[in-house]
Amino acid sequence: MGFMTIDGKQVEFTDEPNVLSVIRKADIDIPTLCYHSELSVYGACRLCTVENEKGKTFASCSEKPKDGMVVYTNTPRLMKYRKMILELLLAAHDRDCTTCIKSGECHLQELAHRMGVTTVPYKNRMTHHEIDASSPSIIRNPNKCILCGDCVRMCDNVQAVNAIDFTSRGTSATVAPAFNKLLNTTDCVGCGQCRVVCPTGAISINTNMDPVWEALADPDTKVIAQIAPAVRVA
């Protein structure tokens, strides 16, 4: 137990696992894309970055609260950093939001609106990946993936299925089954928990199940090419 000063306000903490939880306990809104209290801390998105009284910045999800800590959550510098992080994520993202199945529920889209990101001042770095609609229950669209790793930690650490993981490096990095195989060749049980934590349209529920089964029944059908557009329009 101890006290922290957050944006000039004294806040008591007891067993909160990180500074982010204490900030939220104080009813201060702080954006996150990769933090879920039920998953292990990954510290990937850096949106939860705060600064101390000396101007040192750190990810609040990855830092334990300490008695006497002084933290600022919304300084102009932090707002600038957060906006820049979103712009960089969007620069490597399929921004065809109007046809995205997650439009209106996408956390990245919502944060971009909230932080006034209307244009992306960086070169488009998106690498095109095939959409995987091989599973009867889940559609995987790596072009919408922001590499937060939420789905990986859910699938591997919580569900213990290990159907997906990070693959490749640099701008080609994405989340996929091992050796970029299709989801229906893995141990995926279709539990959909990866979809629950995915903040974007990278993982969605297959609302078009019957045609998928139809396509799977035909060995000559290219499932990825034929099913994905129909799902994206829906």
Binding site for ligand FES (CB under 6 A): 32-35, 43-48, 59, 61
Pairwise CA distance, residues 72 & 5, whole Å: 8
How far, in Å, are 31, 104, 173 from residue 133 at the CA level? Answer: 31, 22, 19
Pairwise CA distance, residues 30 & 49, whole Å: 9
Shortest distance, position 47 Cβ to ligand FES, whole Å: 5
Shortest distance, position 32 Cβ to ligand FES, whole Å: 4
Give helix 209-217 / helix 223-233 axis angle, nearest 10°: 170
Pairwise CA distance, residues 86 & 120, whole Å: 9
How far, in Å, are 8, 167, 170 from residue 26 at the CA level? Answer: 11, 38, 37
If the CB atoms of residues 86 and 212 are measured against ligand FES, the closer one turns out to be 86
Q: Where are the alpha helices (DSSP H) in 7-154?
A: 19-25, 76-91, 107-114, 150-153
Shortest distance, position 18 Cβ to ligand FES, whole Å: 9
Starting at the edge strand found earlier in the chain, the sheet holding 49-52 runs: 9-13, 2-6, 70-72, 49-52, 57-59
If the CB atoms of residues 30 and 133 are measured against ligand FES, the closer one turns out to be 30
Shortest distance, position 118 Cβ to ligand FES, whole Å: 23
If the CB atoms of residues 59 and 101 are measured against ligand FES, the closer one turns out to be 59
Shortest distance, position 74 Cβ to ligand FES, whole Å: 15
If the CB atoms of residues 112 and 228 are measured against ligand FES, the closer one turns out to be 112
Pairwise CA distance, residues 225 & 219, whole Å: 14
